[in-house]
Amino acid sequence: MKRALLAVVTTVIGLVLLLSFKPHDVTGAAQPPAALAQTQTSATPAPTSAQQSAATKTVDGDAADTRWGPVQVQISVTGGKISSVQVLQAPNENRRDIEINNTALPILQEETMSAQSAQIDSVSGATYTSDGYIQSLQSAIDRAGL
Amino acid sequence: MTTLHAPPRRAAVTAPPRHRFRPELLLWAVVAGALAVIGLWWRGTPSVSGLDGWLTESGRITGLLAGYGMAVLLGLMARVPALERGVGSDRLARWHAMGGRYVIGLVVAHVLTIIWGYAVADQSGVVDEAVTMALSFPDVLKATVAFFLLLGVALVSARAARRRMRYETWFYLHFYTYLAAWLAFGHQLATGAQFTGDRVAQVAWYVLYLGVAALLVWYRFLGPVRVWARHRLRVTRVTADAPGVVSIHLTGRRLARLGAEPGQFFRWRFLTRELWWSANPYSLSAAPDGGGLRITVKALGDHSAALARLRPGTRVIAEGPYGGFTGRLGRSPKSVLIAGGVGITPLRTLFETLPGQLTLLYRARTPEELLFRDELEEIARVRGDARLYCSVGSRSPDLFTGLDRLLPDLREHDAYVCGPPEMTRSAIQALRSAGVPAHRIHHESFEF
């Protein structure tokens, strides 16, 4: 009994110490993830025809519905290559979604840039979001005629 | 009792001195693993903010540790020979029981804090949040089932319930923890924030769980099959040694290659209609030689009572050899063996084989319960360097008070104790107060 009490007390103290060593910045967690913050900045309408030019053009993908909500991406094409990917929308209903987006979306974006196609690996732990992302990305690529 | 009169074998002398796995090593490895798991959390957590943050992160730490602990607990029971021998099966079982209670505590803390933390974050009720999480988060429904399975196993393993249950029932209920570990595994990777997009962490987790699974399959499940294939053990005869005590003699092929040492035990599965489904641990009661094996069992439960009805020729599957209660523990040329009742079985083999100056103190409640009396006297006579003291009587607190008078140089001895729990405790106490250092006192006890 004494040992059990000791184990519980040690664990609780260890836990509290561990947690207290982390920064407690309240504002940081409340901000939407960077990937979603870009939504406001991109207002360029998507061109319907797919012509190659040296100028950068942006193409929106379809909004792909997933179990947790729609995912939609927008690609910028420069010289026939994907020069950047923006995520217009992603599930952000709860904390868990936001966390997934914070970790998974940057990985997906990076993968897109290096693969230059929608043939990318989904991020485990964020399977639904990944699937939606890939679907939306594919439609954007099709639309851009890449 | 005719096979005994050969000169005593000195197993501890002839066996090559193998490096013994030290128990502390295992403990440190487990602690290091736990620290690595905490490191995983530390690396993947940018900040802890607000009540929900504190709760959720507590839930994550306890969850990660519980997931790790599950794997460790299963690993402890995988019957890995190095651990069984070096740490000792009885100590492994005690650690498993202690760790089991702790991990159950972690699991409960994980479930409560995670639900509460998410409820605070989403500003919803705790019950609503629990339902949402169970039904809509990936693999959390399976984990919920695992949670209740674990709670169930914990409840039946609790001391109070355990006393009212047959050993075999309790034992087989424990197999639900495999199912629980498997059901809970999915949600650890699918929802664990620390694993999202972290390939190294995922691989490490897979290695942990697959490694433990491999150990279980190879040693715990295929081990007995290998022993059966190699040795084909069978019962040759069953003899009644005392009221309610039977000895079972076995034979098989290439028994010398079993590698059994005096003091070790096997888990025996007798393939009869009533006994095939349970494997029970019994010590060898004669030093194993090439010709045969012997175990001696006191009828304490249904299983041991049914052993008296075994027929010659019955096939036997043995798991083992297990146990670190052997001559390898000793460092001193003098040893004292203290046996209580049927606890004589492993000590009887040590008495036959330990080198050096030996003293055996053997206590039983009634003269009939003094087992192997003739054999022990014969061994003492043949050895010449062994003394035997038998005593009879009910338990008394001053049982071991004369110990240092009997052996004035007691503190130079290695002590081996095996018997009922109370007797073991009072013997260890007496040895300690006589100045025998703790690392010289070796004991084996099975309390499931």
Residues in A touching B102 (Cβ below 8 Å): 7
What confidence tens digit (pLDDT) does each residue in A65-106 have? 877 788 999 998 888 888 888 888 888 776 677 777 788 888
Q: How far is CA B425 from CA B17, B151, B418, B439, B442, in A?
A: 30, 32, 10, 15, 12
**From CA A20, how far away is CA A14, in angstroms rounded?**
10
- Find the CB nearest B57 among A19, A100, A104: A19
What confidence tens digit (pLDDT) does each residue in B284-300 have? 888 877 778 999 888 77
pLDDT confidence of residue B446:
58
Query: Do B359 and B317 lie in a common domain?
Result: no
pLDDT confidence of residue B397:
52
What confidence tens digit (pLDDT) does each residue in A23-73 have? 876 544 444 444 443 433 344 444 444 444 457 888 889 888 877 788 999
List chain A domain ranges.
33-144
What number is the average pLDDT over the span B104-125? 91
**CB-CB under 8 Å, A96 with B118:** yes
pLDDT beyond 70 at B87: yes
Query: Do B318 and B355 lie in a common domain?
Result: no
In which band, very low, low, confident or very high, does the pLDDT at B163 lie, cut at 50, 70 and 90? confident
B6 within a domain of the structure (yes/no): no
Q: Are A80 and A52 in contact (CB under 8 A)?
A: yes
Query: Do B158 and B282 lie in a common domain?
Result: no
Query: Do B155 and B71 lie in a common domain?
Result: yes
Query: Do B34 and B150 lie in a common domain?
Result: yes
What number is the average pLDDT over the span B239-245? 84
Query: Do B238 and B189 lie in a common domain?
Result: no
Among B194, B218, B242, the domain-final residue is B218
pLDDT confidence of residue A125:
73
**CB-CB under 8 Å, B195 with A15:** no
What average pLDDT does chain B have?
84
Q: What is the CATH number of the domain that holds B348?
A: 3.40.50.80
Number of A–B residue contacts, CB under 8 Å: 86
What confidence tens digit (pLDDT) does each residue in B119-158 have? 888 788 889 889 988 888 888 999 999 999 999 988 887 7
Angle among Cα B72, B76, B80 to the nearest 5 degrees reads: 125
Q: Which helix (H) or strand (E) holds A65?
A: strand A64-66
What confidence tens digit (pLDDT) does each residue in A106-121 have? 889 888 988 888 888 8
**From CA B134, how far away is CA B132, in angstroms rounded?**
6
Query: Do B142 and B280 lie in a common domain?
Result: no
Query: Do B114 and B197 lie in a common domain?
Result: yes
pLDDT beyond 80 at B365: yes
From the number of C-beta atoms within 10 Å of its C-beta (0-12, 13-18, 19+), residue A13 rates as: exposed
ipTM, interface predicted TM-score of the complex: 0.71
Residues in A touching B48 (Cβ below 8 Å): 19-20, 22-24
pLDDT confidence of residue B115:
93
Q: How far is CA B330 from CA B17, B334, B365, B415, in A?
A: 12, 9, 29, 8
What number is the average pLDDT over the span B299-305? 71
B374 within a domain of the structure (yes/no): yes
Q: What is the CATH number of the domain that holds B310?
A: 2.40.30.10
B15 within a domain of the structure (yes/no): no
pLDDT confidence of residue B148:
95
In which band, very low, low, confident or very high, does the pLDDT at B438 lie, cut at 50, 70 and 90? confident
- List CB contacts of B394: < 8 A, sequence separation 6 or more: B365
**CB-CB under 8 Å, A7 with B190:** no
How close is the nearest chain A Cα to the Cα of B125, in Å? 14
A113-139 in b/e burial notation, b at 16+ Cβ within 10 A? eeeeebebebbbbbbbbbebbbbbbbb
**CB-CB under 8 Å, B38 with A18:** yes
pLDDT confidence of residue A40:
38
To test the contact with chain A by mutation, choose from B49, B115, B203 the residue with the greatest count of A C-beta atoms within 10 A, namely B49
pLDDT beyond 70 at B424: yes
**From CA A63, how far away is CA A83, in angstroms rounded?**
20
Query: Do B256 and B396 lie in a common domain?
Result: no
Query: Do B106 and B56 lie in a common domain?
Result: yes
Among B218, B253, B287, the domain-final residue is B218
Query: Do B239 and B211 lie in a common domain?
Result: no
- Work out how many domains chain B is built from and give that number: 3
How close is the nearest chain B Cα to the Cα of A25, in Å? 6
**Could you tell me the residue range of the domain that residue B413 belongs to?**
331-444
B252 within a domain of the structure (yes/no): yes
**CB-CB under 8 Å, B118 with A95:** yes
What number is the average pLDDT over the span B65-71? 96
Q: How many residues does chain B have?
A: 448
How close is the nearest chain B Cα to the Cα of A61, in Å? 24
User: Could you tell me the fold of the domain covering A33-144?
Assistant: Sufe protein. Chain: A (3.90.1010)
pLDDT confidence of residue B255:
86
pLDDT confidence of residue A52:
44
pLDDT confidence of residue B236:
92
To test the contact with chain A by mutation, choose from B40, B54, B112, B203 the residue with the greatest count of A C-beta atoms within 10 A, namely B54
How close is the nearest chain A Cα to the Cα of B314, in Å? 45
pLDDT confidence of residue B398:
57
pLDDT confidence of residue B167:
73
pLDDT confidence of residue B170:
79
B5 within a domain of the structure (yes/no): no
Among B189, B218, B247, the domain-final residue is B218
Nearest C-alpha in B relative to A128? B138
Q: Are B448 and B165 in contact (CB under 8 A)?
A: no
How close is the nearest chain A Cα to the Cα of B211, in Å? 21
- List CB contacts of B282: < 8 A, sequence separation 6 or more: B265, B266, B268, B295, B296, B297, B345
pLDDT beyond 50 at B311: yes
What confidence tens digit (pLDDT) does each residue in B13-31 have? 334 344 556 788 899 999 9
**From CA B204, how far away is CA B441, in angstroms rounded?**
39
Residues in B touching A100 (Cβ below 8 Å): 196
**CB-CB under 8 Å, A22 with B57:** yes
Q: Which candidate, B45, B186, B221, places its Cα nearest to that of A24?
A: B45
pLDDT beyond 70 at B341: yes
